[in-house]
Structure 1
Amino acid sequence: MRDALIGLTAAIVGVAGTLSAPVLSQRLMGRVQKEQFERQQQVEEAQWVREQQVAELDRRRDCYMSVNAVFRQYRTHLMNFLWLVHKGEVTPEAREVVEEARHAHHASFAEAQMIASPQVLVELDGMTMALSETYRRTMCLEEGNPDPDGSFDEIRADFQRLWLRWEGMRDVMRADLGVATGS
């Protein structure tokens, strides 16, 4: 009887193991698949975040290149205009060139205000204010109503300060993009 009971117990355990093995393996397989799915989701999310960061960096780089070029162009045209004022050779075409550069500057600055980092915006704001003041002083000189400190030489010195300010602005942009500034 004891042997029969042991045999019956072994048979019951064997049948129970055979019947429960698919259920247990299915649960184990489900858990493994769930973990794989979660890992895949994490990888895809990390990849999406990285793609967004790269896209943002590209957008800022393009914006900074554009605003940098437009600022330099505006400064150059304004400086050329100052020389024409000094020589007494201002023409409507020369004034139009300065105005076009000024409008391009305003458009580029407006775009940069939506894209640039706060650190770069501080520099862009300062540069824009300095350029605007130099433009105003140049136009006052051209109209024959210069500021007390608005002579040709004093305004020309403003352009030297603008250049130094531009170098600082460029360094802040480069730092924002993760590029070594060399300063």
Structure 2
Amino acid sequence: MGAALLALAAALIGGGVSLASVFLTQRGAERGWTLEHERIERHREEDRIREWDSRLLEERRAVYTRLNATARAARDALAGCMHDLRRGGSLDEARRAELDERWSAYVVQHAESHMIVSDAVLPVVGAANGSLRKIYGLVQRLDSGQSDREEDLQELSRRVEDLWDQLTALRDEMRQDLGITARVEAPSRQAGEGRWTAVQARF
């Protein structure tokens, strides 16, 4: 009888050990599967983030390129208007048509850029836009004859000269934002009104 009980106890213990072993093996497998699933999901999320960052960078590069081109084309048209106003007092139809075309292209591109430019670039975009709009307004007033001609011509000349620096600052900030060039301090110069920087002239 004693031997039978010992055999039964041994069988029960052995069965329990086997069940525990199976349970632990199953839990270990489930834990391993969970960790693997989490690793796969983490890698997928990292891939999605990299893909998004890459796409955003390409879109930003394209917008920056168009903004730079249209802003400089508008600047060239406005500078041409300034020379014509100095010489003849008003613009001819060809010059007005050129200005309208380039200005419209710039306005559209400037509006588009606000949806994708970085926070670092946005103030410089605002500074350049403010200067361009002020120059455009002066040209319109001078062309219509509704202005103090001599005073406005002097202001127009000064603003066109300053615009070169602001568009250069905008270009450099965009290049730095894209990682093309290293970040440097904003360009500055000593003027009659004191130290000037591109990011101070927000419009």
Do the structures match in fold with TM over 0.5? yes
Q: Is the 8 A contact 2:176 2:183 kept in 1?
A: no
Which runs of 5 or more structure 2 residues have no equivalent in the other structure?
185-203
Q: Secondary structure at the match of 1:150?
A: helix
Q: Secondary structure at the match of 2:79?
A: helix
Name the CA distance, whole Å, in 2 between partners of 1:42 and 1:119.
30
Name the CA distance, whole Å, in 1 between partners of 2:146 and 2:8.
116
The percentage of counterpart residues that share the same residue type is 29
Instruction: For residue 23 of structure 1, report the CA deviation from its aligned partner.
Output: 3.2
Instruction: For residue 14 of structure 1, report the CA deviation from its aligned partner.
Output: 2.7
Identify the structure with the greater helix proportion.
1
1:32 maps to which residue? 32
TM-score under structure 2 length normalisation: 0.76
Name the CA distance, whole Å, in 2 between partners of 1:182 and 1:29.
51
Name the CA distance, whole Å, in 1 between partners of 2:182 and 2:82.
31
Q: Is the 8 A contact 1:171 1:181 kept in 2?
A: no
2:160 maps to which residue? 159
**Correspondence 1:51 to 2:22:** no
Matches within 5 A, 1:1-183: 7-88=7-88, 90-147=91-148, 148-151=150-153, 154-181=155-182, 183=184
- Match of 2:162, as an amino acid? R
Q: Is the 8 A contact 1:74 1:98 kept in 2?
A: yes
- Match of 1:48, as an amino acid? R
Which runs of 5 or more structure 1 residues have no equivalent in the other structure?
none
| CA RMSD across the alignment | 2.5
Larger mean CA deviation between 21-30 and 121-130 belongs to: 21-30
Name the CA distance, whole Å, in 2 between partners of 1:123 and 1:140.
26
- Match of 1:150, as an amino acid? D
Pairs aligned (count) = 182
